[in-house]
Amino acid sequence: MSDHKSHQSQISANARTGPPRTIAVSTHNPADCTPAHACGGHSVGHAHGPGCAHEVVKHGDHTDYVVDGRLHHPCAKRCDDHGPVEGK
């Protein structure tokens, strides 16, 4: 009996730690600009992107990065704060 049900991988990314988490846009995690957000947790001028040390999370239709348990969204030369990330 071949019981070999392989998970279909639609994403052929080099996902070593599995696909990124997905978080829906909500009042808890708004996709807003927060110009007053002072980035803590990483150096000023750090540019989030592929290869940076922060976990990538899909937030609605864009990509955010987890810094100190919060979603950071690169915007202009700083980050927007898209709310806390639940769980681990």
| Residues within the interface to Zn ion (CB under 5 A) | 31, 33, 39, 48, 52, 54, 59, 64-65, 72-73, 75, 79-80, 82
Q: Give 64 or 85: the residue with its C-beta nearer to Zn ion.
A: 64
- CB of residue 26 to Zn ion, shortest distance in Å: 11
Q: Which residue, 12 or 45, is less far from Zn ion as judged by CB? A: 45
d(CA 63, CA 36): 20
Q: Which is nearer to Zn ion, 1 or 44 (CB)?
A: 44
| Residue 87 C-beta: closest distance to Zn ion, Å | 17
**CA quadruple 41, 38, 85, 76: dihedral, nearest 10:** -100
Q: Determine the residue type at 43.
A: S
CA dihedral sign of residues 67, 73, 22, 9:
negative
